[in-house]
Amino acid sequence: MRANFLKLPTVMLLSLALLGCATNGDPRDPLEPLNRGIYKFNDVVDKAVLKPVATGYKETMPEPVRTAVGNFFSNLDDVLVLLNDLLQFKLERAATDFSRLIWNTTVGIAGLIDVATPMDLAKHNEDFGQTLGYWGVGNGPYLVLPLLGPSTLRDAVGTAVDAHFDPVVQHSPIPERNSAIAIHSVDTRARLLDTEEILDEAALDRYVFLRDAYLQRRRGLVYDGNPPREKFEDYDDPAPAAPTSTHP
């Protein structure tokens, strides 16, 4: 029994490898068959539960309340942003984000009111996945995580690390934590309702559209909006000269 148990991880890795070899699609997405299956599962859950709840939340909750909820969670997120600023030695940005956190937590009443943005203390986006990218860790394969959605191997690790420092995830007692996570999820989904309509009109294949948009956005975030050109983007390189035949 013990021998069979020890073989299980090897069997799982081999299965993932076979799934990856089953597609000739995008090399960034070697697990596309598995990812598409998880994507379909997430889509079913979203349509059955999350989207209807988010729609009701948006229709019944006054906009000022929704704004306050979004500001509150954005302010808590600034704790993670600040930590990752420091890990990337972005000291000037860290000072700005620290000021933003202090102003919104105090004058902004625990972050319910965003007083920092009008003070030119802009909201930034940093997480441990970006920190790993900053220090040269590659994306790894594209992944679709159950319930969480698009990610990569690197970003999945980053999400797990961020969770250990996330004030919401680490909050206790547990019922309050779970309620906060649920409210945050619903509020985030409600903010994506309008974007989803544009996606439905623009995308022939929603899976591919979301994958490419996610990877492009994450690349831009890692390089602070100025990513280097990838190898397949070097269209300006001159084509190699065709071999010339010599005649006797």
**Count, residues in the chain:** 248
- Residue 24: the pLDDT is 54
Contacts 24+ apart (CB under 8 A), 202-211: 207/35, 207/36, 207/39, 208/26, 210/39, 210/149, 210/150, 211/26, 211/28, 211/29, 211/35, 211/142, 211/150
Q: Which of 169, 164, 166 is nearest to 180 (CA)?
A: 169
Mean pLDDT by runs of 10 across the 248 residues of the chain is 39 43 75 98 97 97 97 98 98 97 98 97 97 97 97 98 95 95 96 83 85 96 88 44 42
